[in-house]
Structure 1
Amino acid sequence: MTTLLNVEELVKNFGGLTAVSDVNMHLNDDELVALIGPNGAGKTTLFNLLTGVIGPSSGSITFRGTDGTISLNGMKAYKIANLGMARTFQNIRLFKELSVLDNVLIAMTAHYKEGFFQSVFRLPKFYKTESQIRKEAIELLKIFDLQNDLDKLAKNLPYGIQRRLEIVRGLAMKPKVLFLDEPAAGMNPEETADLTRLIRQVQRDFHITVLLIEHDMSLVMNLASRIYVLDHGSLLAEGTPTEIQQNKAVIKAYLGEEA
């Protein structure tokens, strides 16, 4: 398998606090990996490091793109996104005053470069590109049963549909790696079941790598092929769902010494 993302000895300090400590991990092409751990383990901090929201104190993050292996250390978040890495956030960050369609169109524009004169003077190429982007956005929304919500404001959608739209917006960036930060947070069991099917469909049909932070263990165990366990900023374990379920150190971290 081809390794897309490789992390070596990654460290993040905030003053005297070490939030991420000597983390080594990798993501292969076309796999679904989960990152789990107790509250405060450093999972979102690690996500922020991998996607360029914050920079590491030390260590290395490399990504295998179309032009070979690239170091992501010190790279701006928008440049990392353009390389093929998209994410959702624990707290939904849609453009809530814009329509469903506009949320997706904004994400797609990074892959279409209209020239200055085409844009300013509205030349035929400009309208052709705009028409193509709109067509692709609608087709993507149809795949996820959002075609009837095109003109609705994002803020007026039910919570579970907002989560779905956020994932679709990430897919609109045509990523090689999709990072999902607690996508089931705040969902009821029915919404979580729908989300599980959606994530499986995304990974299967789009052939992308997914890294998932999630506290819902049934969702994680049903989806992930590999699991990393983070505790107090350090990797506690890595393995298949079965291996993680039977790992005594993981059980102790979640349930305490007696368990």
Structure 2
Amino acid sequence: MSTILKVDDLVKNFGGLAAVSNVSMQLNDDELVALIGPNGAGKTTVFNLLTGVIVPSSGAITFNGPNGTVPINGMKPYKVADLGLTRTFQNIRLFKNLSVIDNVLIAMTSHYKEGFIQSVFRLPTYYKTEARIRQEAIDLLKIFDLQDDIDVLAKNLPYGIQRRLEIVRGLAMKPKILFLDEPAAGMNPEETADLTRLIRQIQREFHITVLLIEHDMSLVMNLAERIYVLDHGSLLAEGTPDEIQQNDAVIKAYLGEEA
């Protein structure tokens, strides 16, 4: 199993506050990893650093892609996304007044760049490409049972389906790594169970790496192959779900709060 993303001694300071302190971690091809910790532990800050939303104070983030090793420190978010690092957010960020399929099509168009002449004059190749993109979007929506909602405005979908659509939109960008920031937030038990099945399906069918932030420990322990635990911006522990559940420092800092 090869490493696709490597993080070395990552630090982020906000004024005099160290939000992330010397965090090192790695993600391997085709694995599901969870990042957990109490509120304020620095989890979302780490996500923001890894996806280019904010710039590290120090440390190194290295992506090992098909074109070789690329340092992504300070890279703009859209360039990070172009490399194949895609994320969702705690608060759903769909285009609420657009249809389900339009939300997916917007994500897919970054992979299809028609020439200026074809676009302006609507040459046959333009329409062929447009038809191909739409069919790919429909095929993707079918995989996740959203084909009956193609023309529904995103704002009119139930909360759990909106969350599913956001994940599907991330997959439409053909990521190498999918970052899921608290995908079960605000969900009821039935929706959480559906989400668990969805994430398993993503791993099975798309063979991508998933890094998950989540507070629902039953979801994390059922899904994750490895877990990193943050506390006050520092890495407290790393291991398998069984190892994390038996780690005294983790139980004291975090898991014990759930007991």
Q: Could you state the TM-score of these two structures normalised by the residue count of structure 1? A: 0.98
- 2:72 counterpart residue number: 72
Q: Give the superposition deviation at 1:74.
A: 1.3
Counterpart AA for 1:25: M
Distance in 1, Cα, partners of 2:226 & 2:74 = 28
Does residue 191 of the first structure (1) align with residue 188 of the second (2)? no
Q: Deviations over 1:182-205 (max 9, x none)?
A: 000000000000000000110111
**Cα 1:232–1:195, aligned 2, differ >3 Å: closer, same or farther?**
same
Q: 1:228 corresponds to which letter in structure 2?
A: Y
Unmatched 5+ stretches in structure 1: none
Q: Partner residue of 2:254?
A: 254
Aligned counterpart, 1:136: 136
AA in 2 matched with 1:53: V
What's the CA shift for 1:210?
0.2
Q: Does 1:104 align with 2:104?
A: yes
Q: Which residue of 1 aligns with 2:173?
A: 173
The reply on whether 1:152 has 2:152 as its aligned counterpart is yes
Instruction: Report the alpha carbon displacement of residue 125 of structure 1 after superposing the two structures with TM.
Output: 1.0
Q: Does the 8 A contact of 2:53 with 2:76 survive in 1?
A: yes
Aligned partner of residue 101 in structure 2, secondary structure: helix
Retained in 1: the 8 A contact 2:245–2:255?
no
1-structure distance, mates of 2:151, 2:254: 44
**Aligned runs of 1:212-223 on 2, under 5 Å?**
212-223=212-223
Distance 2:64 2:127 in 1: 34
Identity of aligned residues (%): 84
Look up the equivalent residue of 2:155 and give its one-letter code: K
Aligned to 2:124: 124
Structure 2 CA distance for aligned equivalents of residues 217 and 204 of structure 1 = 22
Instruction: Give the drift of 1:255.
Output: 5.8
> How far apart in 1 are the matches of 2:100 and 2:36?
31
- The Cα of 1:120 is off from its aligned counterpart by 1.1
| Cα distance between partner residues in 2 of 1:160 and 1:256 | 29
Q: Distance in 2 between matches of 1:76 and 1:128?
A: 32
Q: Which amino acid aligns with 1:71?
A: P
Question: How far 1:28 sits from its partner (Å)?
Answer: 0.0
Offset from partner CA, 1:160-194 (integer Å, 9 cap, x none): 00000000000000001000000000000000000
AA paired with 1:133?
I
- 1:51 maps to 51
- Asked if 1 retains the 8 angstrom alpha-carbon contact of 2:88 and 2:167, the reply is yes
1:22 aligns with 2:27: no
Q: Which residue of the partner structure matches residue 86 of structure 2?
A: 86
CA–CA separation in structure 2 for the residues paired with 1:173 and 1:86: 7
Q: For residues 256 and 158 of structure 1, do their structure 2 counterparts lie closer, same or farther at Cα, with a shift above 3 Å needed?
A: closer
Q: Secondary structure at the match of 2:152?
A: coil
Cα distance change of structure 1 residues 157 and 25 upon mapping to structure 2, 3 Å threshold: same
After superposing on structure 2, the runs of 4+ consecutive aligned residues of structure 1 that deviate more than 4 Å are none
1:12-32 superposed Cα distances (whole Å, 9 cap, x missing partner): 000011100000000000000
Deviations 1:197-217 (A, max 9, x none): 000110111000000000000
Report SS of the residue matched to 2:187.
Answer: coil
Letter in 2 for 1:50: L
**Separation of aligned partners in 1, 2:108 and 2:233:** 34
1:37 maps to what in 2? 37
| Matched positions, count | 258
- Measure how far apart 1:87 and its partner are: 0.6
Q: Secondary structure at the match of 1:55?
A: coil
- The structure-2 alpha-carbon separation of the partners of 1:256 and 1:166, relative to structure 1 and needing over 3 Å to count, comes to closer
In 1: Cα distance, 2:77 partner to 2:36 partner: 23
Q: For 1:122 and 1:56, locate their aligned partners in 2 and report how far apart those are by CA, in whole Å.
A: 44
176-185 or 113-122: bigger deviation = 113-122
SS of the aligned residue for 1:11 comes to strand
